[in-house]
Structure 1
Amino acid sequence: MTVDPALASRRGPAARPPHAAPAPAPSRPARAGARAAGPPQPSQDTLDGRFTQLARHRPEAVAVLEPGGELTFAKADLWASRLASMLMHGGVQLGDPVIVHCDDHRQSLVAQLAVLKAGGVCVPAAHGLDTRELHAVGTLSAASTVLCSRSTQEAWARRHTTLALDDPEAWRRITTHRLEPALPLSHAAEAAYLLRSHEGSGAPTGHLVDHRAWRLAVDERIRTAGPAPHRVHVAGPPSSPAALSAMWWAFASGASLRTMPRPGTPAGGGGTLCAAVCTPEEYANLLDTIQLRPGLVQLVGGPVPADLVTRHFAALPGTRLRADFAPTDGVLPWTSRELTPPGAAPHTLGSPVPQVRIRVIDDRGRATAPDQPGELCATGPSLPFTVVHHPGHSAPAWEEAPFLRSGISARRLPDGSLELAPPVT
């Protein structure tokens, strides 16, 4: 899977690169069969399809705003279509993994949408990962193409075909390609992302997530937390789990993604019109200096320490605090809960979200009795549909493919909720 800029046709107007103007956003890939039937219509069952529909209804609305500039929905969709066309003309095929490693949320959005439009699988690599972690992403995905920034390009240049999305020359080449009429090539039942697992040590694993799982997870957040307010702020870097979680919740609600204001920087409004999405670790680091007064703080990822709940309500007494527990990929929740002052029990994980079935198992894969500790496992249509193992790594014989293993010890309480438990020895 390579991207060959020399395959360009000489059509299409000159355009400004995303570092100088709003960068592209998601538009959904459809099936290859759509090529024979004329331009396919974007499906609202896919991530990029939802985005394209929103771009058509609110073309001038801001999709992403950060210190470097803003990106409208229409510009994001157009830039993503151009980039997707180049990917297809350069050899990216349905189901091919493409790594996205950008230092700018606008570039990251355009890259992810382009991969989806081309029918590929996004492999997000959060800005700031170290060399070992980046190597794990590359090895696990076996991707040959990386969409990146100039600041991140060197990490991949020796073994991958790279395209820096803040390079004016790269965008000059991209815009010489004709727009591919077969786009989008995505389908709701096909893989959209390969998310690297965040569980413990050992050989890294990844999780393939289809469009349907994302839609179910986002729709469930809208049902429980409410539609995203006008502005959704994110503390994490581009392509991080919290950024992915915030991005698709915002776009499904017609809202925009914003970076968290830096200390001493005016927040540009607050209150019920904005929300913040962070991991518990990110929130613990920024809470004392946060410039926002959001109506909601949505935590996603690991367990929430009791002292963080106490600190939150001391600093922001009128702000809702919710937690989605996503123990493997940090994005798609297994359990969810609303936190209230003075704080819930420190080990409580909440109740399983709809469309997720939880199992607590012993070291042989057998279900434990109620109140007995074991490893927390889960399956369901709003979770990844399969696990990708590091080359050379084999799973335990009892492991069933539909069940995701968290590596976390927990027990089920009488009311059906879950709590952390000491590791089983």
Structure 2
Amino acid sequence: MRVEHFLEASAQVCPDKLALIEGGNRLTYRALDEAARTLAAALAERGVARGDRVVIFADNCWEAVVGLFGALKAGAVFCMVNPSTKAEKLRFILDDCKPTAVITIARLLATARAALAEQAFVKTVLVAGGKTDLAANETPFAEALAPREKPLRFAGIACDLAMLVYTSGSTGFPKGVMMTHQNVVAAATSITTYLDNTPDDIILNVLPISFDYGLYQVLMAAKVGATLVLEKSFAFPQAIFNRIRAEKVTGFPIVPTIAALILQMRDLKPGDLDLRYITNTAAALPPAHIQRLQELFPATRLYSMYGLTECKRCTYLPPSELKSRPSSVGVAIPGTEAYVVDDNGEKVGPDVVGELVIRGPHVMKGYWRNPEATDRALRPGPHPWEKVLHTGDLFRTDADGFLYFVGRKDDIIKSRGEKVSPKEVESVLFQLEGVKEAVVIGVPDPVLGAALKAVIALAPGVALAERDVIRHCAARLEDFMVPKFVEFRAELPKTDNGKISRRETALLEAQS
């Protein structure tokens, strides 16, 4: 099976069912499939061939969804790029993957043009939305959807590359994660299995579809024949909740920053929203946030999950285990294996901290044009025919095999000769009433080597002093884990995916 078959199968089974709701646009599965098929033919006419890359530089709009399925139907490899990406980074991505076509929207055209300056490999640029003066190789997206007498007939195979997803590039320029159709089908099948997704689900997505967590909401909805409600962001929570009620939404994927905003809403009462499930990934939810979410959504299944771009999803915690293991991210997703190893690659027992390794059909093929980085991440596995993914994340298991995130290898802070996991300290900070966001970093100290500094953003109307935070931590943590410094900020820096950026926080600290 290939990824575009998700859409084609649902269009055949339920052609008149709503597939996508975006703003005032409501597309049935038949309409979405026909638009993607027409676009595929238009791309082929403009020089897109099997294996070529199609970059989609857009926000959460229906054209982007048509674009990704159209690219796949043309046998191409799609690459979603976050709409907040600046010209320099976009230029790097374009130079790296050398797309034959770019799909963008009118408000981003200036950035796209700046990144595309003097690039000969892009044969066509399709521009959606708004009216603007277009250059010779630029075509209105609507024109590419004009009916064609001879629709494209394409047959690829499952081991073809389906998509490139560029990582956030915390150690430099971003890397393109290569995912085949087999990879995507395996991941989507596994996730929809444990979420019990059905055609009756209505999923609301506020996450950027350039972010693989948001992207998979599109792919998984198409796979099971569900309805996807696509929103631009969570900037106006009350409007989103009104949308959830109006569309009778059943599934709501979130990240910790969204959870923090939800918990600030004073007028939201327990049971106000009738959701079947909520999922969380990108970073672990603090146990204190989990408890409060369960109080607000008593009849809703809450899934704590962990994943990374290189394999989409690694683990999930069954909701039945949430009460007894609130700080766990669970077990390996169905059809895969997750285990912890020491520095020699040997599996370790319970409560021993080591690196998490992932084995399964969802593991990437490598990084695009970057064999050195590929070799660091994909290493020989327990069998001679395979390579497994070394995540770079430190984990431990409990006696029952449930996994617990400790921190990134690079994030561990050595203070007083002791290794400190910032996440453990942050979990305690989130227990303090009024803490909206928190991150812990290490700052140089002549005596301690590195002193712990807590950087905190408070909820509106909350007043806390440095001594309040230190006293709270001292009552709950070992002395070497208590922050020496506390700084309050209005907001903490975040990645494009909405995740608090420890790296950017540390850089700001170093520059101050």
What corresponds to 1:163 in structure 2? 126
When structure 1 is superposed on structure 2, of 410-419 and 109-118 the one drifting more is 410-419
d(CA) in 1 for partners of 2:283, 2:91: 24
TM-score of the aligned structures, taking structure 1 as reference length: 0.78
**1:61 matches 2:17:** yes
User: How many percent of aligned residue pairs carry the same amino acid?
Assistant: 21
Higher helix share: 2
Q: Cα 1:122–1:103, aligned 2, differ >3 Å: closer, same or farther?
A: same
What corresponds to 1:243 in structure 2? 214
Aligned counterpart in structure 2 of residue 196 of structure 1, from 149, 154, 166: 166
**1:323 matches 2:287:** no
d(CA) in 2 for partners of 1:316, 1:54: 31
The amino acid of 1:293's aligned partner reads D
Q: Cα 1:398–1:152, aligned 2, differ >3 Å: closer, same or farther?
A: closer
The amino acid of 2:280's aligned partner reads L
d(CA) in 2 for partners of 1:349, 1:70: 36
5+ residue gaps, structure 2: 117-121, 132-138, 381-385, 413-418, 420-512
Aligned residues between the structures: 379
The amino acid of 1:137's aligned partner reads I
SS of structure 2 residue aligned to 1:146: strand
Q: Residues 18 and 227 of structure 2 are in contact (CA less than 8 Å); yes or no, is this contact kept in structure 1?
A: yes
What corresponds to 1:210 in structure 2? 180
What corresponds to 1:90 in structure 2? 46
What corresponds to 1:414 in structure 2? 399
d(CA) in 2 for partners of 1:294, 1:410: 31
What are the superposed Cα offsets for residues 203-262 of structure 1, whole Å, 9 maximum, x if unpaired?
Answer: 432322222222222222332221244310012134332321212222222111113584
Q: Cα 1:320–1:303, aligned 2, differ >3 Å: closer, same or farther?
A: same
Alpha-carbon deviation of 1:419?
1.4
The amino acid of 2:186's aligned partner reads L
When structure 1 is superposed on structure 2, of 161-170 and 231-240 the one drifting more is 161-170
Q: Cα 1:210–1:135, aligned 2, differ >3 Å: closer, same or farther?
A: same
5+ residue gaps, structure 1: 1-44
Computed over aligned residues only, the root mean square deviation of the Cα atoms, in angstroms, reads 3.2
What are the superposed Cα offsets for residues 71-129 of structure 1, whole Å, 9 maximum, x if unpaired?
Answer: 22222111111211111121111111211122243111100001100011111113334
Q: Residues 199 and 327 of structure 1 are in contact (CA less than 8 Å); yes or no, is this contact kept in structure 2?
A: no
SS of structure 2 residue aligned to 1:154: helix
SS of structure 2 residue aligned to 1:155: helix
What corresponds to 1:352 in structure 2? 332
Aligned counterpart in structure 2 of residue 285 of structure 1, from 261, 271, 277: 261
What corresponds to 1:151 in structure 2? 107
What corresponds to 2:275 in structure 1? 294
d(CA) in 1 for partners of 2:257, 2:243: 21
The amino acid of 2:366's aligned partner reads T
Q: Cα 1:391–1:125, aligned 2, differ >3 Å: closer, same or farther?
A: farther
What corresponds to 2:193 in structure 1? 223
Aligned counterpart in structure 2 of residue 374 of structure 1, from 354, 373, 384: 354
The amino acid of 2:337's aligned partner reads R
Larger radius of gyration: 2
The amino acid of 1:233's aligned partner reads L
What are the superposed Cα offsets for residues 306-351 of structure 1, whole Å, 9 maximum, x if unpaired?
Answer: 222122112112111012311235x721111124697454542211
Using CA pairs under 8 Å that are at least 6 residues apart, name the structure with larger relative contact order, 1 or 2.
Answer: 1
SS of structure 1 residue aligned to 2:64: helix
The amino acid of 1:234's aligned partner reads N
Q: Cα 1:374–1:263, aligned 2, differ >3 Å: closer, same or farther?
A: closer
When structure 1 is superposed on structure 2, of 352-361 and 120-129 the one drifting more is 352-361
d(CA) in 1 for partners of 2:223, 2:373: 37
SS of structure 1 residue aligned to 2:276: strand
Q: Cα 1:274–1:184, aligned 2, differ >3 Å: closer, same or farther?
A: farther
TM-score of the aligned structures, taking structure 2 as reference length: 0.66
SS of structure 2 residue aligned to 1:236: coil
What corresponds to 2:243 in structure 1? 267
SS of structure 2 residue aligned to 1:84: helix
